[in-house]
Amino acid sequence: MAPKTKKEAPAPPKAEVKGKALKAKKAVLKGIHSHKKKKKKKIYILMAQDTASTKVAQISSKEHPQEKQA
């Protein structure tokens, strides 16, 4: 007797394949992806620094001479 060969499963029609793909697409949308929230953009405003306070901090070298180290 000759060995029996297995028959390959017939390829499903294109309509079935498209239906399965559509179901998979809908399943993905029902998951996390459909509930995504937009991230709020943070706006950073740089404040102008007070220049008067920086000028007060500067002391001339004549008023406070540095001591020479040995």
Q: What is the pLDDT of residue 42?
A: 85
Which residue do the tokens 């498209």 mark? 18
Q: Does pLDDT of 55 surpass 60?
A: no
Using pLDDT thresholds of 50, 70 and 90, give the confidence band for residue 65. Answer: low
Rounded to two decimals, the pTM is: 0.29
Using pLDDT thresholds of 50, 70 and 90, give the confidence band for residue 13. Answer: confident
Distances (CA, A) of 48 to 45, 51, 59: 9, 9, 23
Top-confidence residue, 51 or 20: 20
For residues 6-15, give the mean pLDDT.
73
